[in-house]
Structure 1
Amino acid sequence: MPTIKSKLMPNAQPSEETKAELLKQINAPAGTNIQLMVLEVDYDRKKLYVCLSGGAVVDGEARFTLTGRAAYEALCSISTISDTLTIQQISISETPLKTKVKSALKKAPANSCICFIGDMQGELDGVLSDVFNISK
Structure 2
Amino acid sequence: MAFSQVLLSDVTANKETNQAILEMLDINEAHDLQYHVYEVAFGDKQIFCCLSGGVIENNEIQFTPVGLAAFEALTNIKEMPEAEYFADFINTEKNIAEQIETVFARVPNGAKVCFVGDITGELKEELSKFFTMIH
After TM superposition, the score normalised by the length of structure 2 is 0.91
Percent identity (aligned)? 27
The amino acid that maps onto 1:44 is G
Q: Measure how far apart 1:25 and its partner are.
A: 1.5
Give matches, 1:24-63, under 5 Å.
24-63=23-62
3-state DSSP of counterpart to 1:101: helix
- 1:129 counterpart residue number: 128
Contact 1:91 1:123 in 2 (8 A): no
How big is each residue's C-alpha offset from its partner over 1:33-90, in whole Å with a ceiling of 9 and x where there is no partner? 1111000001112110000000001121101001100000000001112330001111
The amino acid that maps onto 1:8 is L
3-state DSSP of counterpart to 1:7: strand
- Count of aligned pairs between the two proteins: 132
Q: For the residues of structure 2 that align with 1:12 and 1:52, how far apart are their CA atoms?
A: 14
Contact 1:14 1:70 in 2 (8 A): yes
- 2:86 counterpart residue number: 86
**Gap regions ≥5 residues in structure 2:** none
After TM superposition, the score normalised by the length of structure 1 is 0.90
Give yes or no for the alignment of 1:11 onto 2:10: yes
Contact 1:91 1:124 in 2 (8 A): no
Q: For the residues of structure 1 that align with 2:29 and 2:111, how far apart are their CA atoms?
A: 32
**Structure 1 vs Structure 2 CA RMSD:** 1.5
